[in-house]
Amino acid sequence: MGAHKVLVVGGGGREHSLCLALNDSVMVGQLYCAPGNAGTASIASNIDISPTDIEALVGFCIKSHIDLVVVGPEAPLCKSLADRLIEVSIPCFGPVAELAELEGSKLHAKQVMSEVGVPTAGFKILNNTAHIDSSLDLFSEYPWVVKRDVLAGGKGVLVTSDRSEAKEFITNAIQTDGKVLLEEFLPGQEASMLVVMDGSGFVCLPPSQDHKRAYDGDLGPNTGGMGAYCPAPIVTKSVHQKVISRIVKPMFEYLSKLTIPYRGVLYVGLMITDSGDPNVVEFNVRFGDPECQITLPLIKTDLFTILHCASLDKLSSLVVEFYHAHALTIVLASEGYPSQPVKGRIVEGIPDNMDVIALESSWVNHAGTKLAENKIIANGGRVLSCSAMSKTLSGAATLAYDLINTITLEGGHFRTDIGGQILNAKR
């Protein structure tokens, strides 16, 4: 009890959320975060190592006798961090590089979906600019959906009805990456489900919905996410059953039979049609951000136990319980986000004692922050998020907005309609 050493890799809001939950575990004795942020600094030891410096991370784990590594972002996984940790017998929550290609390559993900029989949009792969017009004609009924085949920080997708814009995006992608994915447009509502998975079983976490656009009313450019709420009512009991039977179970059966099974969280990005049929928009191989911030608080079972069991293929031995509650988070972004965020400004007004997560309470998840001369400085596009948990979604929204309105950041902006589609009320 309390003797385990855990390293969380990453420095965003997702990683602060993971650290908050792991810090609450009686199983964790020492918590590290690499590189961490101003929020993780108060509950973990921040380690100045880049998430993509694989050998430095492995060396630290060996030297510090780390018992579990929890990988936040996708880049270290695609760069074989899990593979290297397995080689030195250190448990890792996060898939090996070959399986991380489910996120690292949109084309690979589509090929796996086709092989497994997972419902998804029709698609065509382009690797020659000579075929752009004829390919666009195949999907001309709705807006075109074009996806780069590489990790692009959430900015590798274009949805447009402008043919010239689509052609320019496709041309640039082929010239840069060698190929591009053209997809059928799927109308409906988006939602996501985080599935903790190993070689023995899987656990579906409560479904959530996030707000991608920068400004109120779903206007402005796409971002990494400006807020989210959980659970998502669009994922009814019937839809949930379809997601498990048509998507999660087939993927588990495929991934669990591999030489090294999938050990980590599979983020299932969904498009749910008006008839209630779920289709996969994308797979990610890590917790979503900001979905992580409002999903973890709803888990009643000790998080370390869940992640550690998954790293050892012992997940099927657990019964995971959840709180019957609602959670909501609002992102505070720097001026200029998402195109050219302004860094270096002071964040003020964050109340003390923001490390306790409980029902009918609110808290701050730090993301792009750093400490300088005892001041919290904005150090990224998404600076922090204000989260809350309540018996009702409206209660969570009230708590979160009351908190974010106490915090000041020159030029900072946040959406005032997170959860508004469900609450039918703009704040």
Peptide bond into 231 cis (omega under 30): yes
Domains and CATH numbers, the chain: 4-97 (3.40.50.20), 122-183 (3.30.1490.20), 187-324 (3.30.470.20), 326-427 (3.90.600.10)
User: Which one-letter amino acid corresponds to residue 98?
Assistant: E
Q: Is the pLDDT of residue 1 over 60?
A: no
Cα maximum dimension of the chain: 63
Strands 92-93 and 68-71: parallel
Check if the beta carbon of residue 41 is closer than 8 Å to that of residue 375.
Answer: no
φ, ψ dihedrals at 164, nearest 5°: -65, -35
- Give the mean pLDDT of 371-399: 97
The two beta strands, 144-148 and 180-183, are antiparallel
Residue 50's alpha-carbon distances to 47, 54, 73, 76, 124, in angstroms, are: 9, 8, 11, 9, 36
Answer yes or no: is pLDDT of 427 > 50.
no
100 torsion bin: left (phi>0), alpha (psi -120 to 50), beta (else) = alpha
The per-residue pLDDT for range 199-256, each reduced to its tens digit, is 999 999 999 999 999 999 999 998 999 999 999 999 999 999 999 999 999 999 999 9
Structural tokens at position 425? 């009320």
Which residue spans within 39-113 are E strands per DSSP? 45-46, 68-71, 92-93
Higher pLDDT, 209 or 352: 209
Examine the pLDDT at 154 and tell me if it is beyond 70.
Answer: no
* pLDDT of the residue at 355: 81
Q: Is the pTM of this model over 0.85?
A: yes
Place of tokens 């052609």: 167
- The closest of 205, 202, 194 to 314, measured between CA atoms, is 202
Residue 348 confidence (pLDDT): 98
Take residue 397 and report the two structure tokens written for it: 């929204």
pLDDT in tens, 169-200: 999 999 998 999 999 999 999 999 999 999 99
The amino acid that residue 131 corresponds to is H
pLDDT at 103 over 90: yes
Distance CA 243, CA 377 (A): 41
Q: What is the pLDDT of residues 260-286, one digit of tens each?
A: 999 999 999 999 999 999 999 999 999
| The predicted structure's pLDDT at residue 156 | 83
* Rg value, the chain, Cα: 21
- Report yes or no: 216 and 419 within 8 Å, Cβ to Cβ: no
Separation between Cα atoms, residue 368 and residue 377, nearest integer Å = 8
* pLDDT at res. 426: 41
Q: For residue 379, count other CB atoms closer than 10 A to its CB.
A: 22
**Among 30-39, 171-180, 249-258, 383-392, where is mean pLDDT lowest?**
171-180
Neighbours of 115 (CB within 10 A): 10
Spell out the SS3 assignment of 364-407: EEECCEEEECCEEEECCCEEEEEEEEECCHHHHHHHHHHHHCCC
pLDDT of residue 424: 62
